[in-house]
């Protein structure tokens, strides 16, 4: 099952100048310049790529995991992600400068065109962002939440200062804001779409490396190379057909038959066989999803108890048994695709070691810690998690041999589950997954663990952690900011409010015609990186 690019979900897989400012503004990111060296001549190859039938209107404001890959080919924002990485480089922006991570000055590159030939100007960004932020039921509207005036039809923090310049003001300093700007939600829209937003659903007009020839999100959408594209990297293929599938088993069969060139999600049912089936034509990497268990303080107030529970869970064994190894054990709180992620920040606490887990629990009891007879492990029954939570409970119960017992307990629906979690009514451990909204460490630490955050369902509270995040948010230097975010993550290792369990993996396959391909931070095929014969 595809995971939506939304916030926390219980669903699993299938800069300010002073008055005397003579000092130039300081660049917030060490970005690569927009202009680059000449690239190899583009080829004439055409490829077919599997996508899924969109369940949301496919526009930048509503671009979701399902169908959003098509929009990645059609639009380029102020920034873009370097193929195969989470790092950013300038797209339409010529420069973005700040002195305080709250006020940003944006200058656009001139000569950038939409597919209808009209120029990309500052107002095309500002008006598009206002439209996206105020979109009714907009999937991506929350991404604009830091901008001053968010929640109103027009955000007061956005001001056009010239044809190719505008300013952004946030409600408070937030350095990772620029890391968001490669997301398709921040794309500009042409005047025609600003005048008639409904036109986007009929045939989108963007400013990206490919333009629409045929638009059919429930069938086949065809895009072709836009020869006037002003981006740094030019497409290597002339045409991409995005074929919508409701069944990835069918897509896999088409891939094996040579009727499909790229499938971004190989079904779990294939297990390790896909490597042989595709003769090594695969791309595998952990993605932007972290799954685990939240531990509210009233359930397991003692750190040693939390650590013992964590070390009693056989992450690797469960992954092999339930998902054919297509999930990998998590050793940190931050998904590997996020900028600032570390390989093993959890340390021993995330290692399966039954004997050590029993010893830690015995030591806690010897110090007077009272253990509950049973601890419920909550999940939503409509998310396909029963097997997972049953395996987790069995691993813990087998380790502690009755001294501490975990009992799976389901809420009937995801809505009931989320409502109970939000109200603090889940009197037990909470199975959750988090999907990165943008590829940066802050997007995990801030939403999940800062005091009072709506997504902090485990009611974690650490004033030192909150203070460290604020320090990081104010750092204009990205490298210094990352150091502070990492220091905050280290505090999680000392407190263990959430037990990391697994990272999902992007597991993609391609035909023999495809000679090179890279994934975006969101697991989509990067349309500019792909080469084919």
Q: What is the pLDDT of residues 319-372, one digit of tens each?
A: 999 988 789 999 999 999 999 999 999 999 999 999 999 999 999 999 999 888
The set of residues, in sequence order, having a beta carbon less than 8 Å from that of 513 and lying 6+ positions away, is: 45, 47, 261, 532, 533
For the domain spanning 286-505, the CATH number is 3.10.105.10
pLDDT for the residue numbered 9: 42
Record the pTM: 0.89
Left (φ > 0), alpha (ψ -120 to 50) or beta: where does 325 sit?
Answer: left
Does 36 have pLDDT greater than 60?
no
Under 8 Å between Cβ of 263 and 252: yes
pLDDT digits (tens, 9 = 90+) for 486-525: 999 999 999 999 999 999 989 999 999 999 999 999 889 9
pLDDT for the residue numbered 56: 61
Strand partners, 506: 285
pLDDT for the residue numbered 33: 47
Return the structure tokens found at 244: 């919508």
The pLDDT-based confidence of 35 (bands split at 50, 70, 90) is very low
* Most confidently modeled range among 28-32, 188-192, 382-386: 188-192
pLDDT digits (tens, 9 = 90+) for 221-276: 999 999 999 998 899 999 999 999 988 899 999 999 999 999 998 987 877 788 88
Cα–Cα distance for residue pair 213/168, rounded to 1 Å: 34
The pLDDT-based confidence of 57 (bands split at 50, 70, 90) is low
How many Cα atoms occupy the beta-carbon half-sphere of 197 within 13 Å? 17
Residue ranges of the chain that CATH labels 3.10.105.10 = 286-505
Cα–Cα distance for residue pair 433/296, rounded to 1 Å: 16
pLDDT digits (tens, 9 = 90+) for 271-309: 778 888 999 999 998 889 999 999 988 777 889 999 999
Does 8 have pLDDT greater than 60?
no
Under 8 Å between Cβ of 371 and 403: yes
pLDDT digits (tens, 9 = 90+) for 161-208: 999 999 999 999 998 999 999 999 999 999 999 999 988 888 899 999
pLDDT for the residue numbered 339: 94
Q: Tell me what the mean pLDDT of segment 138-160 comes to.
A: 95
Does 38 have pLDDT greater than 60?
no
Q: For 413-424, b where at least 16 C-beta lie within 10 A, e where not — what string?
A: ebeebbebbeee
Residue ranges of the chain that CATH labels 3.40.190.10 = 43-264+511-532
- State the average pLDDT for the chain: 89
Q: Which residue has the higher pLDDT, 295 or 18?
A: 295
Exposed / middle / buried, residue 231 (Cβ in 10 Å: 0-12, 13-18, 19+): buried
pLDDT for the residue numbered 340: 95
Percent of the chain with pLDDT strictly greater than 70: 91
Does 28 have pLDDT greater than 80?
no
pLDDT digits (tens, 9 = 90+) for 80-92: 998 888 889 999 9
The pLDDT-based confidence of 430 (bands split at 50, 70, 90) is very high
For the domain spanning 43-264+511-532, the CATH number is 3.40.190.10
Does 375 have pLDDT greater than 60?
yes
Under 8 Å between Cβ of 138 and 61: yes
pLDDT for the residue numbered 54: 67
């Amino acid at each position: 099952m595809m995971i939506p690019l939304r916030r926390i979900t219980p669903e699993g897989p299938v800069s300010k100048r002073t008055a005397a400012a003579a000092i130039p503004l300081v660049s917030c990111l060490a970005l690569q310049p927009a202009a680059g060296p000449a690239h190899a001549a583009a080829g004439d190859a055409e490829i077919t790529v599997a996508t899924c039938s969109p369940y949301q209107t496919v526009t930048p404001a509503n671009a979701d995991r399902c169908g959003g890959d098509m929009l990645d080919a059609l639009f380029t924002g102020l920034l873009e992600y370097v193929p195969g990485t989470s790092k950013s480089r300038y797209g339409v922006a010529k420069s973005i400068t700040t002195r305080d991570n709250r006020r940003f000055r944006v200058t656009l590159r001139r000569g950038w065109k939409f597919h209808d030939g009209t120029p990309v100007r500052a107002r095309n960004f500002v008006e598009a962002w206002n439209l996206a932020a105020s979109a009714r039921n907009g999937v991506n509207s929350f991404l604009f939440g830091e901008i001053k005036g968010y929640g109103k039809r027009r955000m007061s923090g956005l001001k056009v200062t010239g044809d190719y310049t505008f300013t952004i003001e946030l409600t408070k300093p937030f350095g990772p804001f620029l890391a968001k700007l490669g997301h398709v939600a921040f794309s500009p829209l042409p005047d025609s779409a600003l005048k008639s937003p409904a036109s986007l659903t009929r045939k989108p007009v963007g400013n990206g490396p490919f333009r629409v020839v045929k638009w059919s999100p429930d069938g086949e959408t065809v895009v072709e190379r836009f020869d006037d594209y002003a981006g740094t990297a030019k497409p290597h293929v002339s045409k991409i057909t995005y074929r919508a599938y409701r069944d990835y088993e069918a897509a896999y069969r088409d891939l094996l038959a040579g009727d499909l060139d790229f499938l971004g999600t190989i079904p779990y049912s294939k297990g390790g066989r896909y490597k042989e089936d595709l003769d090594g034509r695969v791309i595998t990497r952990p993605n932007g999803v972290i799954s685990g268990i939240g531990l509210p303080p009233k359930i397991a107030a003692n750190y040693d108890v939390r650590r013992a529970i964590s070390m009693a869970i056989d992450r690797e064994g469960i992954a092999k048994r339930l998902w054919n190894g297509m999930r990998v054990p998590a050793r940190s709180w931050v998904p590997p695709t996020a900028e600032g992620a570390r390989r093993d920040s959890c340390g021993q606490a995330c290692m399966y070691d039954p004997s050590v887990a029993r010893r830690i629990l015995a030591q806690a009891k010897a110090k007077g810690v009272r253990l509950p007879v049973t601890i419920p492990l909550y999940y939503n029954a409509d998310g396909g998690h029963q097997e997972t939570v049953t395996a987790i409970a069995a691993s813990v119960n087998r380790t502690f041999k009755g001294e501490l017992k975990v009992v799976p307990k389901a809420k009937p629906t995801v809505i009931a589950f989320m409502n109970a979690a939000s109200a603090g009514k889940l009197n037990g451990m909470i199975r959750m997954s988090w999907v990165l909204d943008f590829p940066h460490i802050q997007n995990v630490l801030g939403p999940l663990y800062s005091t009072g955050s709506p997504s902090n369902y485990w009611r974690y509270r650490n004033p030192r952690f909150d203070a460290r995040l604020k320090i990081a948010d104010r750092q204009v230097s990205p490298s210094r900011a990352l150091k502070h975010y990492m220091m905050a993550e280290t505090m999680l290792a000392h407190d263990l409010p959430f037990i990391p369990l697994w990272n999902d993996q992007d597991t993609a396959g391609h035909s023999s015609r495809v000679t090179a391909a890279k994934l975006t931070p969101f697991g989509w095929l990067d349309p500019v990186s792909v080469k084919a014969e």
